[in-house]
A and B are shown apart, each in its own frame.
Chain A
Amino acid sequence: RKEVEQDPGPFNVPEGATVAFNCTYSNSASQSFFWYRQDCRKEPKLLMSVYSSGNEDGRFTAQLNRASQYISLLIRDSKLSDSATYLCVIRGGAAGNKLTFGGGTRVLVKP
């Protein structure tokens, strides 16, 4: 089983709609959780950290469920510019201080 798993998608989303997807992790000792966004042929960029209490940044909401070992990302009022691959990234656990990346979830927002 992979340490970090994501649905690869693509999630085809009408502009203005809401989309949500999860990322599961296998190591309960994982400590820090992040969502990164990666555009085609570009480097990943931090979208938001994920806190135990859940957090929101504009149209983006992230949740952490430690009991079930997953994090989620919800995007409201999707924009065309939200089209990207969203990477679930975890620090801690088996990899120690290193980051472990999920395979990414591709989101395509269409007019």
Chain B
Amino acid sequence: GAVVSQHPSWVICKSGTSVKIECRSLDFQATTMFWYRQFPKQSLMLMATSNEGSKATYEQGVEKDKFLINHASLTLSTLTVTSAHPEDSSFYICSGGGPLGNTEAFFGQGTRLTVV
């Protein structure tokens, strides 16, 4: 199956700083990648859809100025959490699917963000 690599796997940062999370598709070209957030004992919630070469599409309630997404190439999408606050502490996961998005998704390893 396709491989999606996400980095870093965990990060601790101070309140007010920014954190960048990278998501790479290693063996396929991802025109679209998805970013999710998962709080403890809850399911994955889609934050935004990252589109190569164009602006990301954000889900309702997700602040686009706080969660900056860049998808500059077919193999890399990044999520930057700006001015992080403790309530941003969560598990962030990216995923990519098939070329038409009609196959199962392959997930990155996830990034556990803790803001102190």
Residues of A within 8 A of B (CB): 32, 34, 41-46, 49, 87, 89, 91, 95, 97-99, 101-104
Contact = CB atoms under 8 A, between A and B. Distances in A.
B93 A101 contact: no
B105 A99 contact: yes
Interface stretch (B13-21, B39-47, B63-71, B77-85): B39-47
A97 to B, nearest CB: 5
A102 B109 contact: no
Contacts of A103: 42-43
B46 A99 contact: yes
Contacts of B107: 43-45
Contact of A46 (B91, B101, B104): B104
Interface of B: 1, 6, 34, 42-46, 49, 91, 93, 95, 101-102, 104-110, 112
Most chain A CB within 10 A, of B42, B44, B106, is at: B44
Closest 10 CB pairs of A and B: A43-B107, A103-B43, A101-B43, A43-B110, A97-B101, A101-B44, A46-B104, A43-B109, A43-B93, A44-B107
A97 B102 contact: yes
B51 to A, nearest CB: 12
